[in-house]
Structure 1
Amino acid sequence: MTVPFPRRRARPPRTGWRPGVLTAALTATVTVMPGFAVGAFAPGIGSDLRMTRTGLGLSMTAFYAATALGSPLAKRAAARLPPPLVLVMASLVAATVMLALSRAGDAATLTALLVMGGLGNALVQPAAGRLIVAGVPGHRRSLAAGTVGAALAAATLVPGLLVAFVVPGHGWRMAMTVAGLVAVIPAALAPLTVPRTGAPAVPTARPTAPRGVGPVLALWALAAALSAAGNNAVATYFVQLGAEAGLSGTFTGNLLSLSALCAIAVRLAAGALTDRAPHHNPAVIAAMMATGGIGLVLISTGSPAAFLVGAVLAFSAGWGWTGLLLAAALRLVPDKAENAGHTVQVGIYTGATVAPFAFAALTGAIGFAGASLAAATAAFAGAAATTAGAFLLRPPRPAPACTSAGPRPVAAPRGPARATGPASGDG
């Protein structure tokens, strides 16, 4: 009689954290794309819909304002719904909005669609924060946050490619249609956001957040708003700034794509490197914001060569801090990851709300050079606010053992120490 071998229990498939983070990054890319696409296609949209530069700026402002104002509601939704469902919803909203934008016939329709897209965009960062804390090891969270943060750079890459290769031959409406079809892709990949089958949706480690993090997060949100205001304005009007520097539209579109690739590479590299010493993230963020400000100063000169260097600095460093800021906020509030994503998102998109209209108004008043210098000033102020927030995190210095008003310490007696027993009552 033969005894059959015992069957082994089938183990559930296990996947690492990288596919989920990559899917979240792709979703974040397509959800912010409507705002950047309208900015990249602004010349054609303005001519077709008879919109002025200020009118287009107001429409793009509506997109970013909807993201900032819708962030509190999105934070609550992200805390209750599964991250894959949240990301699917955001991706489908972005696809619907861009496909509808390709058929827009007037400014009111364009603005209403951008508001809808901004509300969908608000869902991503809180869900990504939950995903990172729940499934990513602590020593890889800066890299994961940098990957999600690279979405802002990638969102400028796709419109830049469309400006270079689709708009000249087929117009902005076909380019917007292509962008809408691309936005459907992350929805099919959303199941990959589950890091491993059966893993609980709780952080792998739950360190206690230090007290008094509210003022720190407020300062970092302000820093994000200031730096984002400067860099978003340049990203939105990049093609027009290139034309002011004497560059062709096709060349500027290719440069926009190249700068976006540099920004993606910098965010990934910065995340991987700072994982070795994540407590240095605030200092790296401040340095990146300041370097981006230098790039904006170079752009303001109007020289083609200076524009090339300034564009790379403004995109690679000036936009390279978003993932690190998310990672730094996650370290402060590890048990409320959606709050960290909400804080970063509110800061970034508040600045982005101000940027398009303010930059358009400034260019009309003081020209492109003066507006670029104002953007640089905002970036430098953001670096200062980041430094101030990091300063608040420093532990207080221990009080000295004695003061001049207190008793002086008794000197130890010289010679070998003698064992002393308990004091006797008679002394």
Structure 2
Amino acid sequence: MSTLSPVRTVHPALPEGRGPWPGMGAVVAAAVAAMTPVFGVAALATPIERDAGISGTTFGLALSVFFAVTAAGSGVGRRVAARLPLPAVLLLIDLLAAAALLLAALADGPVWLIGALVVGGVANTLPQPAAGRYIAARVPGHRLSLATGLVGAALGAAPLLPGLLAGLVAVPYGPRTALVAAAAFPVLALAAVPLGRIGPARPRTPSTTVTGDDRAAGDAVRRRTIFRVLLLWTLAAGLATVGSNAAASYFIQIGTASGLSTAVAGLMQSLAGIVAIAVRLTAGGLADRAPRHNPVVVTVMMLSGALGLALTAFGTPVTFVIGAILAVAGGWGWTGLLLASVMRLLDGQGARAGAWMQAGLFTGAAVTPFTFGVVTGAIGVPGAVLLAAATALAGTLTMAAGILLRSRTRVTASRRRAPACRW
């Protein structure tokens, strides 16, 4: 992911025919389907551990495997998403996600459960690069943040169904039935796959025409700057995700530790998912009015997620409700806006932008379940939540450092009369 082309302003041309939004629906449905296995298993942690004889530490390791496979496979996922027809990519995501849920329903020990989540992790290597490719090809530049907000909303929607199943299906019928019921979603998502066709796009015209030595020098400066900013933003995404993933993956456990029942905590998880969806869609729509401010908004959202986690550590029902909404809605609300920011840095490389984002998000997510489980056993739930909040705060500071580097380089480039570069 280090070979980067010069930056151009995002002005994708629409193919002939239908607009981009039906296809975005297919992409979003596949993204939700890909995350359903891990959130479905996480929401049913207590009954699965009991029925399958799995310890809490092993269960956390199984969840971490899902995210680790996703992060490690981001490069491969980018190449697959860039080369195969997009409907074929979406079909593969949905089928693998359904298979992972059914395997998890059959699991009678840790090996089966880990294997199921490996399959789910493979499916989850594809949605972000596929979304980036589709958005770069089909979505107009003035709707870029809204489109990436839809992709971010998929992450917010993913815990919604598992939360409902934990509260309404698992209690009377058992966790296996709940996982089989969850597999219905990726199966139903197959119906939307044909909508994901990209079609032939008209040629795009670069926003600047600079030739000779000045262009070569400007390109070299841009590449170095972009690479450094991307490293910082990817690291920030990973650190911030540690906190938001702790809130999402262990939502019910943190809620019960705060005095809520399992059923109420499950319904609260669904409510937080709805709020997260609304925040991401609203933020995406508003951000298109001033897209240059996206990274700053991301930083503020990361900060709100850290504060929300700190509130849940107080261990009371009231602080849990307030803190959980901030942690899940605000703490995850930045994902779409950060993807839009990265796509503007890597104009014309949608699949690569998605892979960068995916590597950061799921590296952080891979660290969380196992580490959170171990830390909880050592210092308790409140201490583990506070540590996750501190990690999210570190992500906020790293994101701000990337913004400062980008701004400082722009000022330097302007003084040296380097080729113009719109961020």
TM-score by length of 2: 0.88
Flag the 1:63–1:391 CA change in 2: closer, same or farther, 3 A.
same
Who is 1:425 aligned against?
Answer: none
In the alignment, which residue of structure 2 is the partner of 1:368? 381
The answer for the alignment partner of 2:64 in structure 1 is 61
- What are the ranges of 5 or more consecutive residues in structure 1 without an aligned counterpart? 1-11, 401-427
SS in 2 for 1:396: helix
> Per-residue deviation at 1:203?
7.8
Q: For the structure 1 residues 399 and 65, does the alpha-carbon distance in structure 2 shift closer, same or farther, using more than 3 Å as the test?
A: closer
CA contact (8 A) 1:206 1:335 kept: no
> Match of 1:396?
411
Q: Are residues 1:16 and 2:19 paired?
A: yes
The AA in structure 2 aligned to 1:362 is: V
Letter in 1 for 2:172: G
In the TM superposition, residue 84 of structure 1 has moved relative to its aligned partner by 1.4
Gap change, CA 1:362 and 1:205, over 3 Å in 2: farther
Q: Does 1:181 align with 2:192?
A: no
Structure 1 pair 206–47 and aligned structure 2 pair: CA distance change class (3 A): farther
Residue aligning to 1:333: 346
How many angstroms does 1:199 deviate by?
A: 3.3
What is the CA-CA distance between 1:183 and the residue it aligns to? 1.1
**Which position in structure 2 is the counterpart of 1:234?**
247
1:194 CA displacement: 2.4
Residue 128 of structure 1: aligned partner: 131
Other structure's SS at 2:362 match: helix
Q: Contact 2:163/2:269 (CA < 8 Å) preserved in 1?
A: yes
Distance 1:278 1:103 in 2: 46
Correspondence for 2:296: 283
Q: Does the CA contact (< 8 Å) of 2:136 and 2:349 recur in 1? A: no
Aligned counterpart, 1:199: 200
- Alpha-carbon distance between aligned partners in 1 of 2:203 and 2:115, rounded to the nearest angstrom: 38
Question: 1:14, CA displacement in angstroms?
Answer: 2.5
Secondary structure in 2 aligned to 1:302? coil
How many angstroms does 1:207 deviate by?
5.0
- Work out the CA distance in 2 between the residues paired with 1:333 and 1:46: 43
SS at match of 1:375: helix
In 1, the alpha carbon distance for the partners of 2:206 and 2:41 equals: 41
Q: Alpha carbon RMSD of aligned pairs, Å?
A: 1.8
Instruction: Give the aligned partner of residue 160 of structure 2.
Output: 157
Cα separation, partners in 2 of 1:205 and 1:345, compared to 1, 3 Å: farther
Determine which of 294, 297, 300 is the counterpart of 2:313.
300
Aligned residue pairs: how many?
387
**Identical-residue share of aligned pairs (%):** 45
Superposed CA offset, 1:320-369 (max 9, x none): 01111111100000121111000000000000000001101111111111
Q: In structure 2, do the counterparts of structure 1 residues 204 and 85 end up closer, same or farther at CA, with 3 Å as the change threshold? A: farther
Q: Does 1:109 align with 2:112?
A: yes
User: Closer, same or farther in 2 for the Cα pair 1:145/1:399, shift >3 Å?
Assistant: closer
Q: Is the 8 A contact 1:22 1:148 kept in 2?
A: no
| Conserved? CA contact 1:135–1:204, under 8 Å | no
Taking the aligned partners of 1:370 and 1:95, their CA distance within structure 2 comes to 36
CA distance in 2, matches of 1:259, 1:303: 17
Residue 225 of structure 1 pairs with residue 238 of structure 2: yes
Aligned to 1:86: 89
Structural mapping, 1:317-332, within 5 Å: 317-332=330-345
The equivalent position to 1:253 in structure 2, one of 246, 261, 266, is 266
CA distance, structure 2, for counterparts of residue 141 and residue 184 of structure 1: 29
Larger Rg: 1
Structure with the greater relative contact order (CA < 8 A, sep ≥ 6): 1 or 2?
2
Whether 1:100 and 2:96 are equivalent positions in the alignment is no
Deviating runs (4+, > 3 A) in structure 1? 202-211, 397-400
CA pair 303-333 structure 1, distance change in 2 beyond 3 A: same
Question: Is the partner of 2:182 in helix, strand or coil?
Answer: helix
Report the Cα distance in structure 2 between the residues aligned to 1:371 and 1:396, rounded to whole angstroms: 41
Q: Pick the structure with more helix per residue.
A: 2
Deviation digits for residues 153-183 of structure 1, max 9, x if unmatched?
1110010010111111111101100111111
State the 1:396 CA deviation. Answer: 2.4
Partners of 2:203 and 2:51 lie apart in 1 by 50
Instruction: State the alpha-carbon separation in 2 of the partners of residues 338 and 288 from structure 1.
Output: 25
SS at match of 2:333: coil
Asked if the contact 1:133/1:203 (under 8 Å) is kept, the reply is no
**Which residue number corresponds to residue 324 of structure 2?**
311
- CA distance in 2 between partners of 1:332 and 1:14 (Å): 28
Q: Following the alignment from structure 1 to structure 2, what is the Cα–Cα distance between the partners of residues 171 and 79?
A: 40
Structure 2: which amino acid aligns with 1:307?
F
Quick one: distance in 1 between partners of 2:362 and 2:139?
26
Give the Cα separation in 2 of the matches to 1:203 and 1:247: 56
Quote the Cα distance in structure 2 between the aligned partners of 1:204 and 1:30: 33
CA contact (8 A) 1:164 1:253 kept: yes
Partner of 1:411 in structure 2? none
CA distance in 2, matches of 1:386, 1:91: 33
What is the letter of the counterpart of residue 311 of structure 1?
A
Q: Report if the CA contact (8 A) 2:49-2:56 is conserved.
A: yes
**C-alpha contact 1:221 1:344 (8 A) present in aligned 2:** yes
Q: How far apart, in 2, do the equivalents of 1:105 and 1:159 lie? A: 20
Length-normalised TM-score, structure 1:
0.88
Question: SS at 2:174's partner residue?
Answer: helix
Report whether the alignment pairs 1:35 with 2:50. no
